[in-house]
Structure 1
């Protein structure tokens, strides 16, 4: 049986080893870059639905929109990867829950039709988020 041996270029092997050492530094920056793309889409969708199409004048204070933010990138508990979340800071100034209000907006309730903003944002920003993260990863790898 024939045998073939291939050797990788030294420069490539050095970059791969340095990349392995810096993974914990690079991945959070890449995820935060992608998270910003999704966050901006969620903010714009939320602004478009809050107070629109109501029978009575809107009572919106802007607190829900200002509570929207991005969590820091952290490794998952089970060690299967990294995680970053777009969500709402809690609690509201009156003691209520921003997540509850966002849920009512997204899915509606009796007498209040749904005004989805999260699910459309996920769909609309998916491609741009992936492209942004790929570009950031390429930039980080070139910087090694």
Structure 2
């Protein structure tokens, strides 16, 4: 699965420290709120890149775009909350790995130039993701 990493601002981390024992209940909802703008932009970027600059019309079935998803928020071995947005290693109806197709689009292959969609998504959604997480956290803090 393709990965993107975001570093949280210090002010955001200070708000998190105020939560104490409620953090583990609130963190998954905040991460999910931050993933929403990323998944929307990733789908639009991927849709725009499929079939772009080809000699023949695209025969895309839309399965690659539909396979874009977020994982469930989980704690990693270091105690950090993680959530991944990307293409899982599932296969399409023809038996081709969706992750392989996504990687070929992103990085290209012999005779096929790269058509980046994931890296521009990361750059374009950094601010929107952070803002969405901050709003979700403020909402959750307000409920306490």
2:37 matches 1:37: yes
Count of residue correspondences: 128
How far apart, CA to CA, are the structure 1 residues paired with 2:17 and 2:60?
A: 52
How far apart, CA to CA, are the structure 2 residues paired with 1:96 and 1:69?
A: 18
Which sections of structure 1, spanning at least 5 residues, go unmatched?
1-15
State the 1:18 CA deviation: 8.6
Residue 87 of structure 2 corresponds to 88
Residue 74 of structure 2 corresponds to 74
Change (3 A) 1:17 1:113: closer
Instruction: For residues 8-63 of structure 1, give each alpha carbon's deviation from its aligned partner in whole angstroms, at most 9, with x where no partner exists.
Output: xxxxxxxx999322211100000000011111110110011111211112111111
How far apart, CA to CA, are the structure 2 residues paired with 1:17 and 1:87?
A: 29
How far apart, CA to CA, are the structure 2 residues paired with 1:30 and 1:92?
A: 31
Residue 49 of structure 1 corresponds to 49
TM normalised by structure 2 equals: 0.83
Which sections of structure 2, spanning at least 5 residues, go unmatched?
1-15
TM normalised by structure 1 equals: 0.83
State the 1:77 CA deviation: 2.1
How far apart, CA to CA, are the structure 1 residues paired with 2:61 and 2:91?
A: 15
How far apart, CA to CA, are the structure 2 residues paired with 1:103 and 1:41?
A: 17
Deviating beyond 2 angstroms after TM superposition, the runs of 4 or more aligned structure 1 residues are: 16-19
